[in-house]
Amino acid sequence: MNTEITIQQASPKEWDKITWLWPLEKQAEAQIRNEKKFKQISTGERIVILAEILDKVIGVVQLELVHPNPEMADGKTTAHIDGLRVDQKYRNQGIGKRLMAEVEKIAKEKGFRKIVLGFSKGLTHEFLSKFYSEQGYHFWKEKDDNMTSIFTKDISKL
Ligand SMILES: CC(C)(COP(=O)(O)OP(=O)(O)OC[C@H]1O[C@@H](n2cnc3c(N)ncnc32)[C@H](O)[C@@H]1OP(=O)(O)O)[C@@H](O)C(=O)NCCC(=O)NCCS
């Protein structure tokens, strides 16, 4: 059987395809959030990239082009990576890194020079610091709440 993983941009109507990537108890909340976020694909404020295997979504990453805080995304030079997630069963097979490489390529093609992303200081902080550092990101600052680390990468020279 051909089990090739495809990476492609999502359309707004595909918003409910990613719900199952969250643990059961978080799916209702994720559903509401994702429906709202996918609407921003139509307005050009967001790009969503899906990793699929046999038409089933197994990973997602989102690029926010405009953010209320222009330090995070200003629609011109800085874009914000939001919502990278790979299904538990498919982790550690390079899918997360493939999604990151694809989203950076698209951001660069659109003329963005800098990517910003944040992750919380929870249990996975050390792993995520390493994961993003390996891909050229570096620590920029802590968010005001002091619960989130902001990392950034210059993609202008990719
Ligand atoms: C972060 C995440 C997307 C990575 O996806 P993935 O497909 O497993 O990523 P990859 O397979 O491309 O790379 C994983 C890397 O982390 C390493 N790794 C995996 N689990 C690890 C762990 N517990 N501790 C340390 N390193 C670990 C792997 O060895 C691999 O590194 P390598 O390529 O040098 O071998 C995935 O873990 C995930 O969905 N986590 C939950 C959601 C999340 O935290 N998202 C980030 C929000 S900012």
Across the range 58-73, mean pLDDT stands at 97
What band does 8 get if pLDDT is binned at 50, 70 and 90?
Answer: very high
Return the structure tokens found at 97.
Answer: 């890194």
Q: Is the pLDDT of residue 2 over 80?
A: no
The owner of tokens 């990973």 is 59
Could you give the dihedral angle defined by the CA atoms of residues 94, 100, 105 and 109, in that order, rounded to the nearest 10 degrees?
160
Spatial CA neighbour of 119 closest among 90, 84, 94: 84
Q: Model confidence over 91-100: pLDDT tens digits? A: 999 999 999 9
Residue nearest to atom 46 of ligand 1 (CA): 84
Query: What's the token pair of residue 19?
Result: 């719900």
Record the pTM: 0.95
Q: Is 96 in the pocket of ligand 1 (CB under 6 A)?
A: yes
Question: Nearest-5° angle of CA 53, CA 56, CA 59?
Answer: 75
Pocket test residue of 82, 91, 104, 153 for ligand 1, highest count of atoms within 8 A of CB: 91
Q: Which of 140, 134, 95 is nearest to 114 (CA)?
A: 140
Residue of the CA atom closest to atom 19 of ligand 1:
92
- The verdict on the CB of residue 133 being under 6 Å from ligand 1 is no
Do 60 and 41 meet the contact criterion of CB atoms below 8 Å apart? no
The residue whose CA is least distant from atom 16 of ligand 1 is 131
Which atom of ligand 1 lies closest to the CA of 119? 48
What is the mean predicted confidence (pLDDT) over 52-63?
Answer: 96
| pLDDT tens by residue, 100-138 | 999 999 999 999 999 999 999 999 999 999 999 999 999
* Summary mean pLDDT of the chain: 95
Q: Look at residue 81 in the predicted model and tell me its pLDDT.
A: 98
- Closest C-alpha residue for ligand 1 atom 42: 85
Beta bridge partners of 51: 7, 59
Rounded distance from Cα 136 to ligand 1 centre (Å): 15
Q: Which domains does the chain have, with CATH numbers?
A: 5-154 (3.40.630.30)
